[in-house]
Amino acid sequence: MKKFAAAALPLFACALAACSVSIGSDPKIDESALEKSVKQTLTEKVGQEPDSIDCPGDLKGTVGTTMRCTLTAGGDQLGLTVTVTSVQDDTVNYDVEVDQK
């Protein structure tokens, strides 16, 4: 697994993605849906799937809201920031930026 981490973590560090998820009438993204969506987005951008994404709760659908999450790959961890970029009806759009180190 360490080979995966050594190869993939620099790629994850460069990944920047935009996603959207529609959740109910109150614009927010449920914690588990957010983790799944971020994992899928990074997998599509980088071509390798992280072991896990861990976020501390639901993401409120307010432009400018940020949340710190943790990416785990091959036993190594990196922080990442999810930032809400826009909200249209019940769709929350956000960017994901993985820390460089």
| Tens of pLDDT, residues 24-83 | 567 889 999 999 999 998 898 888 899 999 999 999 999 999 999 999 998 899 999 999
> C-alpha distances in angstroms, 24 versus 21, 28, 39, 89?
10, 8, 21, 10
Is the pTM of the predicted complex or chain greater than 0.85?
no
The Cα 19–Cα 12 span in angstroms is 16
Which of 4, 95, 100 is CA-nearest to residue 49?
A: 4
Among residues 56, 6, 2, 49, the alpha carbon closest in space to that of 29 is found at 56
pLDDT one-digit tens code per residue, 11-38: 454 444 455 565 556 788 999 999 999 9
